Amino acid sequence: MLDLPCEMGEEVANHDPLIGATLGGLYRVERLIGVGGMGRVYQATHTLLGKDFAIKVLPEGRANRPDATERFLREARAASQIENEHIVEVVNVDEDEEHRLFIVMELLEGENLADRLLRGALPLEDTMRIATQTGNALQAAHDAGIVHRDLKPENIFIVQKHGGDFVKVLDFGISKIKNPEHGDPKLTATDQIVGTPLYISPELARGIATVDHRSDIYALGVIVYEMLTGTPPFTGANHFQLLYKHGNEAPDPPSQRSKKAAIPPHVEAAVLRALEKDPNDRFENMHAFCAALRGPTVPPRARTLGIPLLAAAIVAGVAFVLWPKAGGESAPTAPAPAPPPATTEPSEAPAPVTKKSEPPAEPAQAEPSREPVTIELRSSPKGALVALNGEKRGRTPLSLELERDTEATVRFSLRGYHAEQRQFVADEDDSLRVRLKKKSRPPPSPIKTDF
């Protein structure tokens, strides 16, 4: 549950006329737990059920503004349309006798991601868990035709459930709803900017009206970058500097900023792809982004070992069954052989019995060669910048020496062309050629802000 700083919370609570009031005849307001641009959030108790809820109240000064009312209702409408356990649950929308509009939501106990990031970068395991659950929630929103457009750490709330962190995505107040049933009223002019500058996508920074779900992919990429490194990819002294950097500058690879454990190459490659300036160069959906963050579940070369390993297991199992038990007893599954017929000739010495504690030695296997392999990289057109596992290596044509069996992610980028990415295992000398597709850029839009 979000709490205000003690000094601010007490001062505001002492002068808040809603503390102690009953909204809609059912919800008794207990205390103020949060203040935002679109309203105040209170903890309230249902007078009949005795259950606590979070209630967001539209400020009186905004109640007479149609755009503020629509934005307030849009938050409730969007959240209620999405059936996903990682979206905050909206219980009701109502208006009290004083014509105060309010939203009733589930009460959350925990902290938002912004507060957790104040303590520094997160461990990789925590980052992957939070990113995956957030992506799951946003994919459900996108499937319902809803784009969040204001994803930021303050809107990612973390509770404890199932023995670990459990994400709840909040605040769909400036979401874009494509469902024609509700229309798509313009909450801001097409040349104004919505979203928070630290996490805004390049297309939103340019004031482009026709944004889609890939804008949320960019914002989640920024947040994952910050969870890994402790800082967002871009900072600036003012909004204009941030807007320019999001629209024009390439981020440093997260591994160059990380002060904790090493960032896996596939994680870094996924984050950098989510942060592409052109939406067409990003992942096609949140599921693809989260899958890339998790990386391959089975190493590519391990698949070829399946049949030999199975055969070896079968042989080992048969040998175990045939070995005698300790103490000289025979295994019950192996009947005793019939005694040999009597003979006057001396019998041959019996073959030595292999004890179970001394299995037959397996033949030694030769160590695989660890000599480096050479990969020739080409692009059409040539001159593309090559990044290997997030590290810049030069421009095509380019030869790279890699340790054998190294898993590599190679990215080709060239100004004016869509970036291309390839993954492979360096098991022998080989070559890789890509053909880059030319971009078709729309005319630039004037930048205006509405912060």
Look up the CATH number of the domain holding residue 153.
Answer: 1.10.510.10
pLDDT tier for residue 19 given thresholds of 50, 70 and 90: very high
CA 270 distance to own-chain centroid: 9
pLDDT score of 17 more than 80: yes
Mean pLDDT over 225-237 rounds to 95
pLDDT at 129: 97
Amino acid at 169: V
Task: Answer yes or no: do 130 and 275 share one domain.
Answer: yes
Task: Answer yes or no: do 159 and 93 share one domain.
Answer: no
Task: Answer yes or no: do 99 and 124 share one domain.
Answer: no
pLDDT tier for residue 300 given thresholds of 50, 70 and 90: very low
pLDDT in tens, 26-55: 999 999 998 876 778 999 999 999 999 999
pLDDT score of 132 more than 90: yes
Domain that holds residue 419: 373-435
Task: Answer yes or no: do 273 and 153 share one domain.
Answer: yes
Q: Could you give the CA distance from residue 145 to residue 154 in angstroms, rounded to a whole number?
A: 23
pLDDT at 63: 57
Domain limit, last residue, from 105, 130, 151: 105
Domain limit, last residue, from 105, 139, 157: 105
Domain limit, last residue, from 105, 139, 162: 105
Say which residue, 99 or 9, is predicted with more confidence: 99
Which amino acids are annotated catalytic?
A: 150
Task: Answer yes or no: do 393 and 423 share one domain.
Answer: yes
Q: How many domains does the chain have?
A: 3
How does DSSP classify residue 146?
E
Task: Answer yes or no: do 170 and 282 share one domain.
Answer: yes
Task: Answer yes or no: do 152 and 258 share one domain.
Answer: yes
pLDDT at 227: 97
Mean pLDDT over 57-78 rounds to 73
| Residue 31 and residue 6 in contact, taking contact as beta carbons nearer than 8 Å | no
CATH number at residue 94: 3.30.200.20
pLDDT at 427: 79
| Residue 393 and residue 384 in contact, taking contact as beta carbons nearer than 8 Å | no
Task: Answer yes or no: do 59 and 91 share one domain.
Answer: yes
pLDDT score of 336 more than 80: no
Q: Could you give the CA distance from residue 11 to residue 378 in angstroms, rounded to a whole number?
A: 65
Amino acid at 50: G
